[in-house]
Amino acid sequence: MLLHAPTPLSLADLTALTRDVADEVRAGRHLVQVDPERRWYRLLRSDSYVDVWLISWATEQTAELHDHAGSIGALTVVSGSLVEQRWVGDGLRSRQLRTGRSLGFPLGHVHDVGNPAAAPAVSVHAYSPPLTAMSYYAVEPGSVEKGPRLRRTRSVLVESGSSEGVG
């Protein structure tokens, strides 16, 4: 298993970057909109090393269970609360991400992020190298001995500046 992405940036670098941009959002330097029909997003930065996205989440919006192909990533919750469902090898585990919480995700991290709360949430995400592909997954029941399995349902190429899969 490949442990490091082809990028000079580390998970700590990406986490620090999302925290810095979250501070900018809180200071009013970036406009945020909330769309009740679909996740709203804006690409704030894109270069050969990293993409930085600002995302708002209305109630019940989710990203769908996915990975980030050859990219590592991080996110920081600017406001509100999100829930991450992540694959841990024998099933999904949940963790709540409240305002100010950051996390990094290495290569191979499969997760879904969503907002089950009644109030909107806002988050900043960074991916390095910039996203080029994403795979989506379903959890299927397994045998009594082996437990649930993760099955890839589709993979998509991500065009520069596209929101496909961001989350």
For the chain, what are the domain ranges?
11-157
Backbone angles phi, psi at 30, to 5 degrees: -135, 130
Instruction: For 109-134, write each residue's pLDDT tens digit.
Output: 999 999 998 999 999 999 999 999 99
Question: pLDDT tens per residue, the chain (167 residues)?
Answer: 445 557 889 999 999 999 999 999 999 999 999 999 999 999 999 999 999 999 999 999 999 999 999 999 999 999 999 999 999 988 999 999 999 999 999 999 999 999 998 999 999 999 999 999 999 999 998 777 778 999 999 999 987 655 555 66
Count other Cβ atoms within 10 Å, centred on residue 32. 15
Residues 4, 104: contact at Cβ < 8 Å? no
pLDDT for the residue numbered 158: 85
Backbone angles phi, psi at 25, to 5 degrees: -65, -45
pTM of structure: 0.90
Q: What is the 3-state secondary structure (H, E, C) of the chain?
A: CCCCCCCCCCHHHHHHHHHHHHHHHHCCCCCCCCCCCCCEEEEEEECCCCEEEEEEECCCCECCCECCCCCEEEEEEEECEEEEEEECCCCEEEEEEECCCEEEECCCCCEEEECCCCCCEEEEEEEECCCCEEEEEEEECCCCCCCCEEEEEEEEECCCCCCCCCC
Superfamily of domain 11-157: Jelly Rolls (2.60.120.10)
Residues 137, 53: contact at Cβ < 8 Å? no
